[in-house]
Structure 1
């Protein structure tokens, strides 16, 4: 039987969502995913006038708030979908927790782990749940791969490999210009996070990362277009994540491989329909997958938080669980900032 990799939601009434920071990603991914799965949107707020006409474009949106404070004080809002910029994220995360709201916060959650700790403690005291919008965990191929790994389908994981074989999204002239080592500290966070999930329980020995400009990269693109990250574990398991640049291809994809002691999982995301194959005992099983990362992954992240609230438990994408991914990213960031010097690490994944 194939494990159910699709977004899951609790039975019965579900908390209404208030989107704090309703910019481009919220309007192109968050709202379409919530409408697809029939979730209740209490309202939205944005720093810019991008919400003009939003209630007509998205009938599930009940109102546009005049301020963040109005959203946070609305008793109809059960979950705050926090999509504010990274520099403001902890400020509004703390405000939402103080208002007694559950939170789904955009990634990367923060680079200030010391500042995050008291907010997590306050959330625990108030009995509210904080999840991180690591929506790629619910990209169909990655989600099913995770469930297969957890079920022991390939034995102990030996290696994880990712290749970004597709064009980069628009970067030059965007806020990414001001993000140091942007591919490592922001764009690749989803790949770092899912790799951490597949290596769950292992101890990291070292992390090495490099990023560089590539031939033909325009001067207007301030950040490097190429990056690679290598992770070595104490038991010999390893991972490699590679972005080669702005790939020119008619067949874009992001292939990945998970090699284990008893089999191999190989697949692809972000190139049309997701693909996944499990090979074990010389038998290859191919899975026909429903849905895509955009937008089903976004529904999966929210659905897991809703299930956790209903079942009074921590979500799989909890902020506490995400700390391990952030620590891995920060080690890679430090390595890139030191000319690619391997960074010794004693992280438990």
Structure 2
């Protein structure tokens, strides 16, 4: 292992943008539409921590906002209706923190109001909505409106630094990606998530699929495009009989150039030091790391020793600030955001293919430009 003053480490880090959220000079004009658990536990704390100006919040359930201004004094107001929020001329960005049902309708209303949108993930959850999304995004482009998705996992510090190193070619072309979720599952029985078909594949693992697709896509000439998905989800020993969904899932991705990825969730793992380790093997080296539960780490190994890389920040809540920051920067710089809805939709296509594969007993499902 190398130390923080090692010249090799300094060379690796030179020129990298870092893992902290990035914002333009003006980070004002955000309104949060939806005030459920994730909005109050992650979105609003992230905006408060990073000085994002929140003009107001609306929820269809007034009980959720009854004491919100006391708990988040930086929030300007509670809107009486969604119409009032969308009509506010001071709102430039709508953080759409509702569930995927009806998502396209909310995006359309925000676009018609001339507001940029950050939509919660998954941007859509059904094949029908996925097919309808491009037409809506064309309308947004014509209106000069940017639509991004809260794929906050991309800014988990170990994953973000991995992305930057892969884009720079520090381990050559990606050969394979491996993820293992070595941690307990969150409570699922009796929650709305357990009512979602193939929930682990289509929702829970979406962050892992999304960042993996991003890494594979760093290969040149389209060789990193995922062309086939295989997946299984199975019930496991010890799983609650009341659980509707299986507690184990495996996803395999295959690219046009032959690189592969495997995502493995073994079940409700018993672990005294839980973590989510990952490995990225390339033609010129290997990245090894972990995310979540105080396990954050990343090292670079190019065959001449392993270099531990310093990390700053955390997925929760920095990743939530970073997704809005990227949208704001994209608007200020007149470009599409990295987390654009069009890009995030490619990950949705993969998890929907994973569910279709599981329905077929793990048979491969072609995606992307595959014949």
What TM-score range do you get, normalising by the shorter chain? Answer: over 0.9
Aligned residue number for residue 5 of structure 2: none
Aligned partners of 1:336 and 1:281: how far apart in 2?
38
Distance apart, 1:45 and its partner CA: 1.0
Give per-residue Cα distances to partners, 1:191-221, cap 9 Å, x unaligned.
0100000011423332100001111111221
Conservation of the 8 A alpha-carbon contact between 2:58 and 2:82: yes
Q: Name the stretch that deviates more: 182-191 or 265-274.
A: 265-274
Alignment of 1:286-297 (within 5 A): 286-297=308-319
Q: Secondary structure at the match of 2:101?
A: helix
Q: Secondary structure at the match of 1:77?
A: coil
Aligned partners of 1:119 and 1:251: how far apart in 2?
44
Aligned residue number for residue 7 of structure 2: none
Aligned residue number for residue 188 of structure 1: 205
Aligned residue number for residue 186 of structure 2: 169
Aligned partners of 1:104 and 1:97: how far apart in 2?
11
Aligned partners of 1:92 and 1:317: how far apart in 2?
18
Gaps of 5+ in 1: none
TM-score (ref. length: structure 2): 0.91
The equivalent position to 1:16 in structure 2, one of 29, 34, 59, is: 29
Give per-residue Cα distances to partners, 1:15-62, cap 9 Å, x unaligned.
311111110001000111111101100111112211121111111111
> What root-mean-square deviation, in Å, do the aligned CA atoms of Structure 1 and Structure 2 show?
1.2
Aligned residue number for residue 237 of structure 1: 259
Q: Secondary structure at the match of 2:92?
A: strand
Aligned residue number for residue 196 of structure 2: 179
TM-score (ref. length: structure 1): 0.97
The equivalent position to 2:278 in structure 1, one of 256, 260, 269, is: 256
Aligned residue number for residue 47 of structure 2: 34
Aligned residue number for residue 122 of structure 1: 139
Distance apart, 1:235 and its partner CA: 1.9
Give per-residue Cα distances to partners, 1:108-151, cap 9 Å, x unaligned.
11132221122101110110100000000000000000000000
Aligned residue number for residue 55 of structure 1: 69
Aligned residue number for residue 114 of structure 2: 100
Conservation of the 8 A alpha-carbon contact between 1:273 and 1:292: no
Aligned residue number for residue 329 of structure 1: 351
Q: Name the stretch that deviates more: 212-221 or 187-196.
A: 212-221
Conservation of the 8 A alpha-carbon contact between 1:168 and 1:245: yes
Aligned partners of 1:64 and 1:144: how far apart in 2?
37
Aligned: 1:70 with 2:84: yes
Conservation of the 8 A alpha-carbon contact between 1:5 and 1:147: no
Q: Secondary structure at the match of 1:39?
A: coil
Aligned residue number for residue 198 of structure 1: 215
Count of residues in correspondence between the two structures: 347
Q: Secondary structure at the match of 2:362?
A: coil
Aligned partners of 1:346 and 1:119: how far apart in 2?
20
Q: Name the stretch that deviates more: 132-141 or 242-251.
A: 242-251
Conservation of the 8 A alpha-carbon contact between 2:19 and 2:313: no
Q: Secondary structure at the match of 1:116?
A: helix
Aligned: 1:340 with 2:357: no
Alignment of 1:264-275 (within 5 A): 264-275=286-297
Conservation of the 8 A alpha-carbon contact between 1:210 and 1:335: yes
Runs of 4+ in 1 over 4 A off after TM superposition: none
Aligned partners of 2:369 and 2:243: how far apart in 1?
33
Aligned residue number for residue 4 of structure 2: none
